[in-house]
Each structure stands twice: as structure tokens, then as C-alpha cells.
Amino acid sequence: MKSCLIVDDSRVIRKVARQIFEAIGYSCTEAENGQTALDLCKTALPDFVLLDWNMPVMNGLDFLHGFRKLPGGDVPNVVFCTTENDLEHIQEALGAGANEYIMKPFDADIIRGKLEQLGLLES
């Protein structure tokens, strides 16, 4: 089973995302900020990361920089999922190695569509 790490400081968002990912066969773990997420990743790398931008302690962008430096951290797909919806943020995220970018609000169709584009889900 593929694993997904959901990083978001909102419990509600994590729950919604978890439901979407579990429905397509992922096992999910959650983290409420970038630091907790990075610590989890040092033990075991997930196959996929859904990543909020603005979070206390460590934000999504800093997490991503740290994550890509971990051994094997260049492989998993990291998809931002954030209310930051301007071109500058998107470009910054892509520059830091994000594979896709979702602007909130999102729904199951958007997530599934992005997974299809990344070749992780059959259309």
C-alpha cells in the first residue's frame, strides 16, 4: 500500500484529505507542521506528501527544502495544497522541487486529477 503524509495545521483539512487518499488506497499519516513532518520522514519516507504552506513552527516551503535533502527525498511526489494562490508562490514552490500545486479550496476531483497527471492514478 502506498503511503501519504498529510501536513497541515488544520485538523479539518487533514481529515478531509485523509478521506480522499484512503478512498484511493493510500495509508495516511498526519503532521500538524513542517517540523513534525520532517521528523517523521527521517524515520520513514512516505510515497507522497500533501503539503500546506503556512503552518506554525516550520512552514511547508522550509519542510520541502529539508525533505529534498534527505536520502531518497528526491523521489516522492510533493504536492502543495494551500490558500496561497498567486503566481509567485507557485513558482517558488516549483523552484523548491514541488511536483504539483493545489490552491484551496480543493475537492476530491482536483486531488484525483493531479494524481492522474502525476501518473499515480489511472484515469
Q: With respect to another protein, which residue has the nearer C-beta, 54 or 85?
A: 85
Shortest Cβ 83–another protein spacing (Å): 10
* Binder of another protein out of 68, 96, 113, 120 (CB under 8 A): 113
Binders in 83-112 for another protein, by CB under 8 A: 85-87, 90-91, 94, 100-103, 106, 109-110
Shortest Cβ 67–another protein spacing (Å): 18
Binders in 46-85 for another protein, by CB under 8 A: 85
Shortest Cβ 84–another protein spacing (Å): 11
Q: What is the DSSP string of the chain?
A: -EEEEEE-S-HHHHHHHHHHHHHTTEEEEEESSHHHHHHHHHH---SEEEE-S--SSS-HHHHHHHHHHSTTTTSSEEEEEES--SHHHHHHHHHTT-SEEEESS--HHHHHHHHHHTTSS--
Q: With respect to another protein, which residue has the nearer C-beta, 19 or 91?
A: 91
The DSSP bridge pattern shows strands 26-31 and 48-51 to be unpaired
Shortest Cβ 107–another protein spacing (Å): 8
Contacts with another protein, residue ranges (CB under 8 A): 85-87, 90-91, 94, 100-103, 106, 109-110, 113-114, 116-117, 123
